[in-house]
């Protein structure tokens, strides 16, 4: 039975996962190599909980109890008593593999391991651990406290007990599970990212401006956010990484990343998190950069 949950990575995804786990009554240990990232994550979780209190979704006593369930640190040895550790580091396979290799010596033999990867092979990541049968994908959507879906992905070696335990945890967190096979980018990003990439091609080829493309998809397809605005929200570097996984994993030219997407990432214009992507976020409201 899962009671203590470790989370590796205190960025937007890791802090969101820590938030929902602690709010659901689980003890949470949040780790990052960057002390400032940990401090920012804890402050961000508290701010988000305060918003939930203000909206009447969470009681003040629940907020305090949630924060008390979260402990932080940078030493992976802190996960020694965890029943499950969820990796939520950057979408880079080598980074993730190095984390898992460093993590497994500290885990108890029964501990489960999950990765929040949005595109990388679960089977391949599991193979670099000592417990591929206790390893699977648990892909949360961003922002985690708001979005209802979690994609659950079994690797080729994942056993049924591991899958059931993680599926039950997903339900305990108040989330809905969608089960995906272990193919590049799974379900959501297999469909979503090529759409975003095609929107970038539409801009690159001069079919429409940033504003026209986003307006067309918001009002013409009833999307809550235009594809270029959404790309900025996800992070253009993450979008490019997923497109590269699709292109390399499926060897189909329809997944070739748009050269303009590559150019923006090379420029460091990776979206909201750096203040500039397809929109300039130093302006209020943000203005298109193209």
Q: Dump the DSSP string for 198-259.
A: HHHHHHHTTSS-HHHHHHHHHHHS--SS-HHHHHHHH-HHHHHHHHHHHHHHH--GGGPPPH
Q: Is there a single domain that holds both residue 212 and residue 82? A: no
The domain of 196 spans 188-288
**pLDDT tens, residue by residue, 246-261:** 999 999 999 999 999 9
Token reading at 67:
């924060």
Q: Is there a single domain that holds both residue 157 and residue 257? A: no
Q: Is there a single domain that holds both residue 139 and residue 241? A: no
Give the DSSP H/E element, type plus range, for residue 154: strand 149-154
Q: Which candidate in 116, 118, 119, 121 is catalytic? A: 118
Q: Is there a single domain that holds both residue 17 and residue 148? A: yes
Q: Is there a single domain that holds both residue 206 and residue 259? A: yes
Q: Is there a single domain that holds both residue 169 and residue 210? A: no
Token reading at 30:
């949040």
For residue 100, name the pLDDT band (cuts at 50, 70, 90). very high
The residue whose two tokens read 């992976």 is 76
Say whether pLDDT at 118 is over 90. yes
Q: Is there a single domain that holds both residue 202 and residue 173? A: no
Domain boundary among 180, 202, 221: 180
- pLDDT at residue number 76: 97
Q: Is there a single domain that holds both residue 163 and residue 193? A: no
Tell me if the bond preceding 43 is cis, omega within 30° of 0. Answer: no
Number of domains in the chain: 2
139 is catalytic: yes
**What is the percent of the chain with per-residue pLDDT over 70, rounded to a whole number?**
100
**pLDDT tens, residue by residue, 129-180:** 999 999 999 999 999 999 999 999 999 999 999 999 999 999 999 999 999 9
Closest of 27, 127, 107 to residue 70, by C-alpha: 27
The whole-angstrom separation of Cα 143 and Cα 113 is 22
Q: Average model confidence (pLDDT) for the chain?
A: 97
Domain boundary among 147, 180, 213: 180
Contact 141, 188 (CB under 8 A): yes
Q: Is there a single domain that holds both residue 37 and residue 158? A: yes
Q: Is there a single domain that holds both residue 154 and residue 204? A: no
Domain boundary among 180, 200, 232: 180
Say whether pLDDT at 189 is over 90. yes
For residue 96, name the pLDDT band (cuts at 50, 70, 90). very high
SS3 284: coil
- pLDDT at residue number 1: 87
Q: What is the CATH number of the domain that holds 220?
A: 1.10.1040.10
Q: Which candidate in 15, 116, 189, 197 is catalytic? A: 189
**What is the percent of the chain with per-residue pLDDT over 90, rounded to a whole number?**
99
Q: Which candidate in 48, 87, 139, 197 is catalytic? A: 139
Q: Which residue has the higher pLDDT, 233 or 1?
A: 233
Q: Is there a single domain that holds both residue 174 and residue 200? A: no
Q: Is there a single domain that holds both residue 134 and residue 41? A: yes
- pLDDT at residue number 113: 98
189 is catalytic: yes
Q: What is the CATH number of the domain that holds 106?
A: 3.40.50.720
Q: Which candidate in 19, 48, 87, 151 is catalytic? A: 151
């Amino acid at each position: 039975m899962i009671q203590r949950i470790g989370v590796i990575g205190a960025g937007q995804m890791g802090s969101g996962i820590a938030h929902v786990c602690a709010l659901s009554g689980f003890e949470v240990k949040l780790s990052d190599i960057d002390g400032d990232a940990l401090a920012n994550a804890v402050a961000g979780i508290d701010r988000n909980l305060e918003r939930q209190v203000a909206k009447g979704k969470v009681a003040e006593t629940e907020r305090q109890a949630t924060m008390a369930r979260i402990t932080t640190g940078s030493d992976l040895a802190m996960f020694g008593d965890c029943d499950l550790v969820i990796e939520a580091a950057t979408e880079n396979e080598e980074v993730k593999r190095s984390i898992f290799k460093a993590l497994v010596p500290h885990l108890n033999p029964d501990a489960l391991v999950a990765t929040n990867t949005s595109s990388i092979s679960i089977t391949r990541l599991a193979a670099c651990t000592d417990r591929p049968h206790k390893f699977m994908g648990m892909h949360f959507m961003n922002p985690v406290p708001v979005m209802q879906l979690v994609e659950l992905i079994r690797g080729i070696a994942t056993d049924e007990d591991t899958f059931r335990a993680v599926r039950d945890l997903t339900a305990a967190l108040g989330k809905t599970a969608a089960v995906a096979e272990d193919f590049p980018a799974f379900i959501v990003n297999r469909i979503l990212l090529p759409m975003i990439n095609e929107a970038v091609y539409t801009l690159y080829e001069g079919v429409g401006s940033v504003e026209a493309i986003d307006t067309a998809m918001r009002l013409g397809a009833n999307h809550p956010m235009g594809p270029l605005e959404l790309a900025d929200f996800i992070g253009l570097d993450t979008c490019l990484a997923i497109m590269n996984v699709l292109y390399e994993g499926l060897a189909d030219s329809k997944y070739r990343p748009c050269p303009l997407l590559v150019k923006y990432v090379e420029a460091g214009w990776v979206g909201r998190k750096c203040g500039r992507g397809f929109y300039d976020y130093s302006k209020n409201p943000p203005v298109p950069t193209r």
